[in-house]
Structure 1
């Protein structure tokens, strides 16, 4: 699952409008137009066929990890409002090298004000049974002894569960 696919599924699950997508990117300090958002939200050409050759396509913009993290930070600001940094705290958090799926779950948990029980319910709606300890391990900081990397299956099913919860 690539970053564009994550944005497509997230947009569907949370029913985010194109104009809101532009605003969320702006809140995350990334300037995009509505046309660029539409190009971001198209399936990548390599997801349709398994050819080895790279096809350059003007109708598709590939989202890198930094851009996805900026979008998720913008979504937190969009949902919860701008937070002033505390004294002695850096103004912007440093970009992390952790798994994209772990970052996705952490930032959605913050943006949607979810508890661990809410996250378990969302995964259960998608047909996945996970323990509270496993969720805790996924939400830990990379390098912690109990840290567990989140696989695509869990991230995909979490987004599917969000769609069930928010869209019915």
Structure 2
């Protein structure tokens, strides 16, 4: 999945308008103009498409954490390069999701996962039980998140 796709899916799942997305980028330490956001939200095949770098998506996720949980005394874990495991971890922190919530969201997205399989995604890289989060799992998670959050809003 591209960072742009993740940004679009999170924006939809969390029912954020453009002003809200820009506010989250600012909270994460990267100011963004409306024009820049429009370019990031375009699809790959649209003219004017601009690739969203890891630093920007990380700033958006850090801003989401700060907006939901408040600013921390320690600096957030900023990453030069994001991977799906770190993206999933930041979403989990921001939304204060427990294992049961994560499993329910994945089931809503059409993926069955056990608690040990889920915990393997959040282990430190290099741990013998660490598992890389594949694009399919992240896609199903974001899809399930959109379904559940949209149902709660209606």
Question: By the TM > 0.5 criterion, same fold?
Answer: yes
Change (3 A) 1:43 1:94: closer
Q: How much does 1:94 deviate?
A: 4.8
**Greater Cα radius of gyration, structure 1 or 2:** 1
Find runs of 4+ consecutive structure 1 residues off by over 4 angstroms.
Answer: none
Structure 2: 5+ residue runs without aligned partners? none
Larger fraction in helix: 2
Q: How many residues align?
A: 151
Q: Which of 74, 77, 80 lines up with 2:66 in the alignment?
A: 77
**Counterpart position of 1:62:** 51
**Counterpart position of 2:31:** 31
Helix, strand or coil at the partner of 1:26? helix
Aligned-partner Cα distance in 2 for 1:109–1:141: 16
Structure 1: 5+ residue runs without aligned partners? 49-56, 86-90
Please report the TM-score for the alignment, with normalisation by the length of structure 2. Answer: 0.91
Q: How much does 1:110 deviate?
A: 0.3
Aligned-partner Cα distance in 1 for 2:142–2:60: 16
Give the superposed CA RMSD.
1.5
Aligned-partner Cα distance in 2 for 1:93–1:9: 22
Q: Which of 120, 134, 138 lines up with 2:121 in the alignment?
A: 138
Please report the TM-score for the alignment, with normalisation by the length of structure 1. Answer: 0.84
